[in-house]
Structure 1
Amino acid sequence: MAYTYISWLLLGQFLTLVTTSASKIPAIIVFGDSSVDAGNNNQISTILKSNFQPYGRDFLGGRPTGRFSNGRIPPDFISEAFGLKPAVPAYLDPAYGIADFAVGVSFASAGTGYDNATSNVLSVIPLWKEVEYYKDYQNKLRAYLGYQNANRIIREALYLISIGTNDFLENYYTLPNRRSQYNVDQYQQFLVGIAENFIKELYSLGARKISLGGLIPMGCLPLERTSNFFTGNGGGCKESYNMVAMNFNGKLSGLVKKLNYELRGVKVVFSNPYPIVKQIIRRPSLYGFEEVAVACCSSGLFEFGYTCNQYNPLTCADANKYVFWDSFHPTEKTSQIVTDHLLKRALHVFF
C-alpha cells in the first residue's frame, strides 16, 4: 500500500510539472465559503474567523491568514499547478493590491452559502456581495491594465466555485425556517436555481472557464460523527447527510450540462470531491493517514474557529496524519490530495 501511495503522489507531481509549462490560465478567481476563503472574514464583523494560531501553522511562513486549515487550501494548489502564485489572496486583505489580484483573488467568505439566509446565520458575506466585490475588482483591473488586457484576463481566468455545505449543516438542518418551506429535495432544487443564476451572472460579466464544486461526504465530518455519537447512533458517519450530498451533486452535475448547452463559448466543469474524499475516509492508510474520525485541533470532536485555538494542549503534533484539521475542515495534506484528483479528473481541460 505504501508503494501505491507513493506512486499516486508522484503521478500527481508529474502532472503538475508537465501542465504548468503550457498553462492558458492567467488568473484564478474564487467564490465560495470556508473551503476556499483565504481570509476575507478577517475584515468583517463575524465570530467565524481563523486568523490566529494554530491555524496556518504549516502555511507559507507559518502564519495564520484566515484560511480554515493548518496550511494551504485548494485554490492555492490549483494556482500553483497552473504556474501562477502558490497562494491566492483574499480580496479584502489590505496587505494585497490589484497587482496581486491580477493573477489570483478570492472573494469567498467562511460560513456563507447559496442561500442568503445561510450567510445571515453568522453575519458573513452573502454570495451576491461576493459578486459585487468582483465587479469592483473588474473596475480596478481595467484601471490597472487597460480594458483590452483586463478583459483578456477576465475572459481567460479560471473561476472556482466551492459552496453549499453550510446551506445544509448550518441552515437547513439547524434552523426551522427552510425546513418549514421545503423538503430536502425541494431545498436542493432551490439552491441549484441560485447556482444557475449565479453562474449566468458571472457569464454576463465575462467569465468563460468555470469550475463548479460539489459537496464532500458531509456526514463524515468529525462534527457530524460527534453529533451522531451523542444522539445514540454510534460515532460513524451520518449516512443520511452523505446521501443528501450525493443527490445535490447529481443536480449540480445536471446543471453543468445544461449551462454548457445554453451558454455560447463557455466551458463549465463539475469538480466533484465526493468520491476521493469518501475513498480517503474508507481507506485512510492508503494515503498515509492514521486518523479520520477526529480532527487534529483540540479534542478533534467539535472544535472549529475560536474553539480551535493555541491554548488547547490536545492539538496534534503532526497534522499530516489526520484527514481533518478541525471538526469541519480538511488538513492541508487532504486538500492537496483532493486537488490533485480534481486537476486530473475535471480541471485538466483548462491546461
Structure 2
Amino acid sequence: MLPPYLQPGPHDFTDGSNFASGGAGALATTNTGTVASFPMQLSYFRNVTKLLQQKLGHLEAKRILRNAVYLISIGGCDYFSFYATNPNATEPQQEEYVAIVIGNLTTVLQGIYNLGGRKIAFQNVGSLGCLPAMRQIFGVTEGCVEGLLSLANLHNTALANVLKELESQLSGFKYSIFNYYDATEDRYLNPATYGFTNGSDGCCGTGPYRGVDCAIEPFELCEDLPEYVWFDGGHSTERANFQYAKLIWSGTPNTTGPYNVQQLFQQV
C-alpha cells in the first residue's frame, strides 16, 4: 500500500504516495476541518515534486512524474453536502453546482499537469442515491434518492467531457474513467449476477438498511459479510472492492476507458 503523505516518519516518494483524505471534496468548503480538500492535496503533491527534484535531480524527477498514474476518486462528498441542504434544488441549480465542482476539479488537474503529471485515472461518482445511508436518511422505501442520482449523472457527464477536452488541449495528457456509477447501481439492482445475495443493505449499522452508526452501540452486524455489496451505509465490502479493482485495472472500454489503468501504465 502506498504510504499516506502525512504519515509520520521518513518517506521514499519514488514509488508514489497517497494524498487521499476521508470526506474530502473537490471544493475546499466541503467537510471543512481536519479534511484535506482536493486543492490542499494538490499542494501536498507540489511538495512531493520538490522533494523528488532535490533527491533525484530535475530530469529523473520529471521522468517519474510523467510515467506515474494519478488515481483519483472525488466528488461524492460534494454532492452529499449540497443535497443535504438543497434537497429540492431545480435542475438548473444542480447544473450550476456541478459546474462549480467540475471547475475546481479541472483546476487541480491542470495543476497536476503543470507539475509533470500526464496520466490520470478517474473513478467517476457512484450511484449516490442508492447507498444504504442515503436511502435511510432520506426515508426512501422503494428505489433510490432521485435527486442524488441526478447530481451524480450530471457530474459524470461533465467529467467525461472535461477529460476529453483536456486530452485535446494538453500535449501528452491521457486518462482513464472507471464507470463506478454503473458498477454500483448494477450490484444494487442485480446482486446475484455478481455473487452477492444483498445489494441494498449495509452489513454493519442501525436502522432499516443498517445505513448509519456502524460500530456505535447498539449496532447490528450481519453474519455473512461476503454476501453483501455494502459493508456499512456508504462503503463497499472487501469482496465488492476487489471486483471494482479488477475493473479499474483491466476492464473493457464499456466499463473503463478509453484506457484501463493497466494500459495507462503502458502508455509512453
Same fold judged by TM-score > 0.5?
Answer: yes
The structure that is strand-richer by fraction is 2
Q: TM-score, normalised by structure 1?
A: 0.66
Q: Counterpart in 1 of 2:211?
A: 302
Q: For residues 118-157 of structure 1, what are the structure 2 equivalents within 5 Å? A: 118-120=30-32, 123-157=34-68
Give yes or no for contact 2:204–2:219 (8 Å, CA) kept in 1.
no
- Conserved in 2, the CA contact under 8 Å of 1:98 and 1:141? no
Measured after TM superposition, the shift of residue 315 of structure 1 is 1.7
Equivalenced residues, count: 252
CA offset at residue 102 of structure 1? 2.2
How big is the alpha-carbon RMSD for the aligned residues of Structure 1 and Structure 2? Answer: 2.2
Amino acid at match of 2:93: N
Q: Is the 8 A contact 1:252 1:270 kept in 2?
A: no
Identity of aligned residues (%): 28
Measure, in 1, the Cα distance between the counterparts of 2:50 and 2:223. Answer: 45
Give the deviation of 1:136 after TM superposition: 1.4
Residue 190 in structure 1 maps to residue 100 in structure 2: yes
Match of 1:98 in 2: 11
Tell me which of 171, 176, 197 is aligned to 1:290.
197
Cα distance in 2, alignment partners of residues 105 and 127 from structure 1: 15
* 1:113-166 deviation per Cα after TM superposition (whole angstroms, max 9, x unaligned): 11111132x541122211111111122223333333222111100001110011
5+ residue gaps, structure 2:
none
| Aligned-partner SS, 2:229 | coil
The answer to whether the Cα contact below 8 Å between 2:203 and 2:210 also exists between their aligned partners in 1 is no
Q: Partner of 1:323: helix, strand, or coil?
A: strand
Q: How does 1:198-209 map to 2 (within 5 A)?
A: 198-209=108-119
CA offsets 1:17-75 (integer angstroms, 9 cap, x no match): xxxxxxxxxxxxxxxxxxxxxxxxxxxxxxxxxxxxxxxxxxxxxxxxxxxxxxxxxxx
Any idea what SS the aligned residue of 2:183 has? helix
* Cα shift at 1:313: 5.9
Once the two structures are TM-superposed, the CA of residue 309 in structure 1 deviates from its matched residue by 2.3
Alignment of structure 1 residues 304-323 onto 2, 5 Å: 307-309=213-215, 314-323=220-229
How far apart are 1:311 and its partner, in Å?
6.0
Unpaired stretches in structure 1, ≥5 consecutive residues: 1-86
CA contact (8 A) 2:26 2:104 kept: yes
The structure showing larger relative contact order (alpha-carbon pairs under 8 Å, at least 6 residues apart) is 1
Rounded to whole Å, the distance in 1 between the matches of 2:24 and 2:85 is 15
Aligned equivalents of 1:111, 1:220: Cα separation in 2: 18
Which residue identity is paired with 1:196?
T
CA contact (8 A) 1:256 1:268 kept: yes
Give, in angstroms, the shift of residue 254 of structure 1.
0.5
**CA contact under 8 A between 1:221 and 1:327: conserved in structure 2?**
yes
